Structure 1
């Protein structure tokens, strides 16, 4: 119950999977991202994020906006070229090389796609509430497929596009908090059976899939609620007005190898000590030649 107003329901903590995982991974990054006003300056944009963003835009158009007559390789190439951005790349050569490489990945992925196929949802927001949290997120794609129980009907599958260089496995799909929350949100919003989650990895043109059951979804929900409870308590303390020392104590960093990839690495001395900030293009499996620095 609400301590301020006895008898009133407790205010729900509103969050996305990204917000929850930011708090779980590093409370200092959470503070910088969601609480500080004005927000501390981020480092430069990441080239791998540019690749992912453009690919997602093209798929959103292909599956969600274009009629079947536009779903051709030429249209895909034209869209990739018009949407391409150079943020985060080392130089123009690297940017153009990755534009062509990303285009090839998208064309390879779409090669056997029925141009008349219409997903049930594209960039669809799904949401659900528990007793303590209101959770929502945007799903890349929701497919409607024949049910696998052999009794007719259809079921939903949650599809997420991935462009990172690391190959993915069914364990990645099953352990993803975001994907499990999307399943729960899709069930609540669309009122349809849904257990299937799929990570579509473009660099290898492979699918890492898993099927949730009630027990695995319950575990993910409990985890999400636990993170939400801790984040809500931390935010409540923040809003009491903390000194800089108190804020550092309430939102400590979590130094580790991933600190070099943090948007706020340049203003976090603890993170810099364990992992120097990476170059913006370091996340790429880079096929372009490096500049010759030996002269």
Structure 2
């Protein structure tokens, strides 16, 4: 198989979306977030373009932003104005932090491909890296720009799939990095916050990344063979362009009445939601009563309470909480 990082990530997020996008190749319009991010990336590429004799000024950078901004991509005029202003602020902040610095840039928006051997199959992993620098201490640094609102914890960055894939891509382009046992720096630059989160990758990390990706490739191969691509509902569904055809969401977009055994499905859903809310209210009240019992038992040093209708006992239950990311690393 020949798969991009985006395809790998999409499968991890939701196999059903992967099927729509990469198997059935159903085209979908770019989201406003994607359009915004693409233009920001273009502006930063322009800012760092090594072929320019004179580095762009802040005015040049903002002029590039204005010249390439297309209001028609954003139907909501208020949202369009807010995003334009947001882009201006991001670029101003970036310029203030980076102008005048001498970066040793090896590549900008450079594509890569790397072979991955899994069982008897050779897969090709592809992708595009925003920027590759060589730092003052002779270390290669991979930089990926992010326009997202949130910024993850460092431990999430350390196991980030995208940075792992980019590490493989860089190591394939410059094999001497592996031979010389040289670490590389992988960074996510969160532009809205002006913060760069980095993780140092060694040959050991490279081997682990390859193993994890091989595991993911095996899952994808199995999904293709069995033709099973289940949907994974989650927070990202809100931004998915395939909602109207997704088995989890498509009913929401059906306008005509749907009957089953002469019953209107939406009416049944309303009834179910009403009953569920009643149950939730009852459970909430039960929880409050239990708390009262517990406080009374603590006060009176009792473990069982009696009434004419029966009795209530208190039982200690021990629960364990796991870090899902670390647990996944161990299991993989």
Same fold (TM over 0.5): yes
Offset at 1:15? 1.3
- Which is bigger in relative contact order (C-alpha 8 A, separation at least 6)? 1
Shift of 1:228: 1.2
Gaps of at least 5 residues in structure 2 are 253-332
Q: Which residue of 2 aligns with 1:221?
A: 210
How far residue 197 of structure 1 moved from its aligned partner, in angstroms, is 1.1
Matched, 1:114 2:92: no
Structure 2 residue aligned with 1:48, among 33, 52, 56?
A: 33
Partner of 2:143: 159
SS at match of 1:120: strand
* 1:205 positional shift: 0.6
The count of corresponding residues between Structure 1 and Structure 2 is: 243
1:289 paired residue number? none
Instruction: State whether structure 2 residue 240 is matched by structure 1 residue 266.
Output: no
C-alpha contact 1:50 1:86 (8 A) present in aligned 2: no
> Aligned-pair distance for 1:53?
0.8
Q: Which residue of 2 aligns with 1:15?
A: 3
In the alignment, does 2:188 pair up with 1:188? no
SS at match of 1:146: coil
Partner residue, 1:140:
130
Distance 1:105 1:219, change over 3 A: same
CA distance in 1, matches of 2:171, 2:19: 32
1:207 corresponds to 2:196: yes
Question: Is 2:163 the counterpart of 1:179?
Answer: yes
* Larger relative helix fraction: 2
Q: For the residues of structure 1 that align with 2:67 and 2:167, how far apart are their CA atoms? A: 33
Please give the per-residue CA displacement for 1:108-152, whole angstroms capped at 9, x wherever unaligned: 1122333653411101122321223221211000010133xxxxx
Q: Is the 8 A contact 2:187 2:196 kept in 1?
A: yes
CA distance in 1, matches of 2:82, 2:9: 32
Match of 1:35 among 11, 17, 23: 23
Cα shift readout 1:44-72 (whole Å, capped 9, x = no counterpart): 54222222111001111221365142411
Q: Which moved more, 1:166-175 or 1:75-84?
A: 166-175
- Range that drifts further, 196-205 or 84-93: 84-93
Match of 1:253 among 203, 209, 231: 231
Determine if contact 1:68/1:116 at 8 Å carries over to the other structure: no
How far is the alpha carbon of 1:93 from its aligned partner?
A: 3.1
**Retained in 1: the 8 A contact 2:129–2:142?**
yes
Checking the alignment, whether the CA contact within 8 Å between 2:146 and 2:191 is kept in structure 1 is: yes
Cross-structure match for 1:233: 222
> 5+ unaligned residues in a row in structure 1: which ranges?
1-12, 148-153, 238-246, 275-295
Answering whether residue 114 of structure 2 is matched by residue 128 of structure 1, we say yes
Aligned-pair CA distance for 1:14: 1.5
Measured after TM superposition, the shift of residue 183 of structure 1 is 1.3
Cα distance change, pair 198–251 in 1 and its aligned pair in 2 (3 A):
same
> What is the root-mean-square deviation in Å for CA atoms of aligned residues?
2.4
| Structure 1 residue 104 displacement after superposition | 1.6
The residue number in structure 2 matching 1:105 is 90
- Deviations 1:214-244 (CA, angstroms, capped at 9, x unpaired): 333322211111111222333345xxxxxxx
